[in-house]
Structure 1
Amino acid sequence: MTITWDQVRAWRLRRQFLEPRTDADGAAVVSRLCGVQAQVKSSAALTALLRQAEPRPEDIEGGLADRVLLKTWAMRGTLHLLKGDEAGDFLSVIASARTWHSPPWQREFGATPAEVEALVDAVSAALEGRVLTRDELVTAVAADRGLAKMEAQLRSGWGAILKPLPWQGTLCHGPSQGAKVTFARPGDLVPGWRGLPEPEEAAPRAIAAYLGAYGPATPDAFNAWLMRGALRKTPLRGWFAALGDRVTEVDVEGQEAYVLAEHADELAGVEPSGSVRLLGAFDQYVLGPGTNDPQVLAPEHRAKVSRAAGWIAPIVVVGGRIKGVWEQVDDAVVVSMFPGARKPAMGALRAEVEHLARARGTRVPEVRVS
């Protein structure tokens, strides 16, 4: 089957609840997107709210309070909100990369695989049936003389040395205590937590979920999204093969990629989109395929979206392609179109700014285009 990139982009807009927007709750949006990046709390909520026809600001906090959603380090080592009953699949596949066994990781963080294993045991024991702040958890763990050398790393706000723990189902973020981060065990926090399945069981489900939002896609695209390419190629190919006739290969203007077989007919029949959407920082529309996907973001404009210190700017999406960025400046939303990009109709931009205001619970700002 041969399709065009215009069709792919239009289909992704549909699948990601962008055209049309959805009546689904926040947890359903998080599920469809295979999680939302949550390094910045407000951006995670906005990712979901902008996809709702009638934004419900209480959805994300409610999902966390009801323990339907789980916050933890996941894709690419960044904080994500995940659906609690789906998190185990993604975490299992991430853990299969065993990044903490690599010599560069050990040199950078000063911990051997054996020490990470001891840390897993110590943290699991400290958190059993409890929710602890970072300070409380580190104090408990550092009491073990064998782990005391890790104390400075454990207190770091980046939490890099802790990341192998959620990938093994040992730790996740708990309810915040004011400005303080807390930690818990997923098994104590998520109702019905079944632990992490084996990667061979989890990977086909995780891949199918990814293809359902960001397909057609290649194994390399899935690998880059999940772990910046750290998954081993042989099992990765095997996991795609294990999907069997659940997936079909399509030709997208000369590039071979996979899509779920159940979506092939819809994809083949979709018409290109001309819609205009304003999406927030760290939005999954660009993070799913990655900022280096030239079919979503032209390479010459990548630096305008993927900025210093890992910041992903709010984006202007026209017809499924990123054509500009925007920012809030005082009482105005300032839209900056990329050189050569046609300015969208002001009516479409105003409608988007009105929806943005409803999602953020603010009054409608004016629109400026540069």
Structure 2
Amino acid sequence: MLAAARTWEKPVWQRNFGVSPRQMEALGDAVEELLDGGRSLSRAELAEALVARPGFGELRDQLTSGWGTVLKPLAWTGRLCHGPGEGGRTTFVSPRSYVPGWKGVPEPEAAAQVAIPAYLRAHDPATAEAFDAWLIRGMTRKADLRARFASLGGRLAEVEVDGEHAYVLAEDAEAVARVRPSKEVRLLAAFDQYVLGPGTADARVIAAGRRKAVSRTAGWIAPVVVHRGRVAGVWDLTDEGTVDVQLFEESPEVPRDALESELAHLAACTGRVRGLSVRAV
């Protein structure tokens, strides 16, 4: 479904990243050759091997970028995937030689039968637009998006949430209707799917005026404090091991004992936590 949008063929993508569709196709061919036979290369090794080839020297900056933007379409089209880790290094391999029984990237219609229910299982009720924003920043053609949701037929049920039409898995509809508001407090890590699933623009999760506190420059999604299902603040772990909790002043009071309980869980996971600091922002 990611490949179906063909984002790398859009003028805005080419302006931002400076790689033409012809170059992307040539890069894909070269990557398949370099990774053939089960070969594994780190990002730096792959970039160096590519820029050493005629026609790719000008793409060094794009290929060595930490964002890996130029490599993403190659992953979406099944020409490379992550391989075994080597210490702190990410490696890339060919799925043809690395994934048992690899049959290639499925057609979008077949992928929708898996991806949409999986998303709704975690995040329903949700709109088709929310799914598309999570998947590929809303780049799917609207007609295609509607058709893929419609293709699931009776597996989905339409519901209304605060006046907005949304979907749930039909088999989950009764369970979703029985859910009651939570009073729990959670310290969630950066880039947690509780935030990314609905998206930082969903004001039911993050107040519109606090979006920039969570979605920061250079694409960073901050660790968040969740209380009663909504983002009530953000937090950081300092070099000294203190969890610095910054609660939004307009949020309902977050119980200190609940934060301390989460602190104990975080300490057990990281082995680095030494204390708790709480302040309003």
TM-score w.r.t. the length of structure 1 is 0.71
1:201 match: 110
Distance 1:325 1:150 in 2: 38
Return the offset for 1:340.
Answer: 2.0
After TM superposition, list the pairs within 5 Å mapping 1:1-370 onto structure 2.
Answer: 93-128=1-36, 129-329=38-238, 330-362=240-272, 364-370=273-279
Amino acid at match of 1:345: P
Distance 2:99 2:229 in 1: 35
Unaligned runs of 5+ in 2: none
2:54 alignment partner, SS class: coil
CA-to-aligned-CA distance 1:188-237 (integer Å, 9 cap, x gap): 33333332110011112111111111111111111111111111111110
Distance 1:142 1:300 in 2: 44
CA gap of 1:125–1:295, structure 2 versus 1, over 3 A, is: same
2:2 alignment partner, SS class: helix
Amino acid at match of 2:80: L
8 Å Cα contact 1:353-1:365 kept in structure 2: no
With CA pairs under 8 Å and 6+ residues apart, which has the higher RCO, 1 or 2?
Answer: 1
Count of residues in correspondence between the two structures = 277
CA gap of 1:369–1:167, structure 2 versus 1, over 3 A, is: same
| Rg larger in structure | 2
Amino acid at match of 1:197: P
Distance 1:161 1:257 in 2: 34
TM-score w.r.t. the length of structure 2 is 0.92
Distance 2:246 2:201 in 1: 20
Distance 1:139 1:307 in 2: 31
Return the offset for 1:342.
Answer: 2.7
1:96 alignment partner, SS class: helix
Return the offset for 1:336.
Answer: 1.5
Taking every aligned residue pair, what percent have the same amino acid on both sides? 53
2:177 alignment partner, SS class: helix
**Root-mean-square deviation (Å):** 1.7
Unaligned runs of 5+ in 1: 1-92
1:323 alignment partner, SS class: strand
